[in-house]
Amino acid sequence: MTEPLPRPDVTLPIRGPAWARPDPALIAAMHGVSTATASAELHHMGITRAYINGPKPLFAGTKIVGPAVTLQFMPQREDVASGIAQEEVEKHSALWHVLDSVTPGDILVVAAKGSPYSGCLGEMLTTYLKGRGGVGAVVDGCVRDWPNIQKIGLPMWTCGVTPNYASQGGLFPWAYDVAVDCAGVLVLPGDIVIADEDGVVNIPRAMAERVLKRTLEHEAWEEFSRARLAEGGSIWTYYPLSPEGRAEYEAWKQAKG
């Protein structure tokens, strides 16, 4: 007869240290930043791993900006959380607890290793996430109950849909408010996530104000360049700005005040 597996000295769920959300005024201003511009500016600033490549928008024409609330899935192990009763155990996991921590304006970022077998969120949890004031979710994995999630209308970027519940595959919701690997990108609680139809970009919190400032400048010269190109101006002069184009832009900017 097989002996029962010993239980390890692990208390689940694991929660990371407390963190403070960014200034709401900064979040509001960041709504004017596209993922394309954010990705380009971060690259110029030395951050080359900001684009979360994997999750795609489930709803067309949506955009969200907000602080990341993180959820980490880890591989199951038989002596920790596995077996026929795991769906009941799941109700006491980080998946339930992280939703309780959501405040209005937050974005849930789920690291589930791109698994097609783990339905990280379903209809009820999505309803609760929206009810808590969450503005959307970025899931490096799948969701379930897609016909009903469509009716809820909460913006989501995921790797697809699945009929499985969260721990039905080989993963288990292990920890929240911790650093996560979301499709190869390090996301820390409180980082600012921008997601639109181009994809998802994670902005390190400490760099957000600089990204915003650079974005405003970038979009100003692009407005000028767009107008000149529409008039038939040379792309060699106006995109990107040559020294001649830059001088013309500075005069244009001064004239506009």
Do residues 45 and 210 lie in contact, with contact meaning Cβ atoms separated by under 8 Å?
Answer: yes
Mean pLDDT (whole number) for 60-82 = 90
Q: How many angstroms separate the Cα of 33 from the Cα of each of 124, 158, 214?
A: 32, 21, 10
What distance in Å separates the CA atoms of residue 109 and residue 115, rounded to the nearest whole number?
15
DSSP code at position 79? T
User: For the ranges 4-8, 61-65, 145-149, which has the lowest average pLDDT?
Assistant: 4-8
**Residue 51 pairs with which residues in a beta bridge?**
201
**Within the chain, which residue ranges are assigned CATH 3.50.30.40?**
14-203
What distance in Å separates the CA atoms of residue 134 and residue 109, rounded to the nearest whole number?
11
Mean pLDDT (whole number) for 30-57 = 95
What distance in Å separates the CA atoms of residue 183 and residue 162, rounded to the nearest whole number?
18
- 217 burial (CB, 10 Å; 0-12 / 13-18 / 19+) is exposed
Q: What is the pLDDT of residues 221-248, one digit of tens each?
A: 999 999 999 999 999 999 999 999 999 9
Q: Provide the CATH topology of domain 14-203.
A: Glucose Oxidase; domain 1 (3.50.30)
Mean pLDDT of the chain: 92
